[in-house]
Amino acid sequence: MGKFTKKKDGIHLDRRSFLKGAALGVAGIALPLHKADASVWEAFFQKRFIEMNDAEKKQVLARLEREYEEKYKIAIKVGDEKAIPGVLFGYGLDLSRCIGCRRCVYACVEENNQSKDPQIQWISVLRFKKGEKWVDLENSDRYYNPELVPEEGYFTMPVQCQQCENPPCVRACPTQATWKEPDGIVVVDYNWCIGCRYCMAACPYGARHFNWAEPGRKPEELNPETHYLGNRPRYKGVVEKCTFCIQRTRKGLYPACVEACPVGARKFGNLLDPNSEIRYAIEHKRVFRLKEDLNTNPKFYYFFAYGT
């Protein structure tokens, strides 16, 4: 019998020769790669970050630092600080003080290495008219641009990832590339994300953002202090989100947005520490969480310091 026969309806290829050919083909693809770079193989067979042991993590971080240095020509440190035991991060935002100046939005972009062109911002500041039905997020204005803020008759409400205790995005991910860390931060493994954007559809807060193109940012504008699960440079076709500045907060620092806010409307701390600022706000002020009815259990608390 011949390996393949030509019939009226096309070429007939038996199974054995197809498999042989396929194996040869794969080997053929592999040949130049073997010569080019071992790191491509390493990246291909990399595990999920959450499944790696310390030695594997070290190897991966070293490889990433090498890749970034080659790509951006500057040294970028990729860290893997672990969650601090006994810490559950919580965030407070004082709506009676926010003036909508967007300082937080741009401080976040500087800190977390988002793409500037195309533009990705993790914080959206929504403007509402006072006295109207305002939790109607769909009809809020993100594009307000007056001479000065605050404006008479309006108030503003920044929205970012609410770091849900029951995150719908995590359940939607088909590859388990996103998960909730022990300190409550929902993170993305950019090397496991396949870019299906199911998590974006699942998120009720519009907090996840997609890299439709290669992230556009000048290398000299990159923040070289990064975390694997946080602000390290991203790839085209992956989803990213606010991580409470994981690279800062796991070292004890405040998130960049907290330090940027000129009116001190942003509060951050450990929900398990009864003496923390955030616990004081929850216990003494009027507090609500966004879309609480969805049972997402956010750890982002909006409060009003005025008018208790």
194 — phi, psi (to 5°)? -100, 0
116: number of Cβ within 10 Å: 15
Q: Interface with another protein includes 110 (CB under 8 A)?
A: no
- H or E element, residue 12: strand 10-13
185 binds another protein (CB under 8 A): no
Q: Does 282 interact with another protein (rule: CB under 8 A)?
A: no
Maximum distance among all alpha carbons in the chain?
90
Provide the 3-class DSSP secondary structure of residue 302.
strand
Confirm or reject binding of residue 172 to another protein (CB under 8 A): no
User: Is residue 204 a contact residue for another protein (CB under 8 A)?
Assistant: no
Residue 209 interacting with another protein (CB under 8 A): no
In the complex with another protein, the residue whose CB is nearer, 211 or 270, is: 270
202 binds another protein (CB under 8 A): no
Q: Does 281 bind another protein (CB under 8 A)?
A: yes
When the beta carbons of 81 and 277 are compared against another protein, the nearer one is: 277
Instruction: Rule CB under 8 A: say whether 137 interacts with another protein.
Output: no
Q: CA 301, CA 163: separation in Å to the nearest integer?
A: 11
Interface pick for another protein out of 30, 33, 263, 287 (rule CB under 8 A)? 263
Among 102, 227, 232, 299, binds another protein (CB under 8 A): 102
The answer for residues whose C-beta is within 8 angstroms of residue 152's C-beta and 6 or more apart is none
**Residue of 179, 203, 205, 182 lying closest to 192 (CA atoms):** 179
Say which amino acid occupies 291. Answer: K
Number of residues in contact with another protein, rule: CB under 8 A?
45
**Residue number with CB closer to another protein (89 or 190):** 89
Q: How far apart are the C-alpha atoms of 13 and 143, rounded to whole Å?
A: 60
Contact (CB, 8 A) for 83 and 270: no
The gap between the terminal CA atoms of the chain, to the nearest Å, is 89
Minimum distance, C-beta of residue 71 to another protein, in the bound complex (Å): 24
Candidate list 57, 77, 103, 129; residue touching another protein; CB under 8 A: 103
The residues in 34-93 that bind another protein, with binding defined as CB under 8 A, are 84, 87
Tell me, what DSSP letter sits at residue 80? -
- Beta sheet of 286-288, edge-to-edge order: 266-270, 89-94, 300-304, 286-288
Assess 134 for contact with another protein (CB under 8 A).
Answer: no
Binding region for another protein (CB under 8 A) = 84, 87, 94, 99-103, 105-106, 118-119, 121, 124, 142-150, 249, 252-254, 258-259, 261-264, 267-270, 273, 276-277, 280-281, 284-285, 305
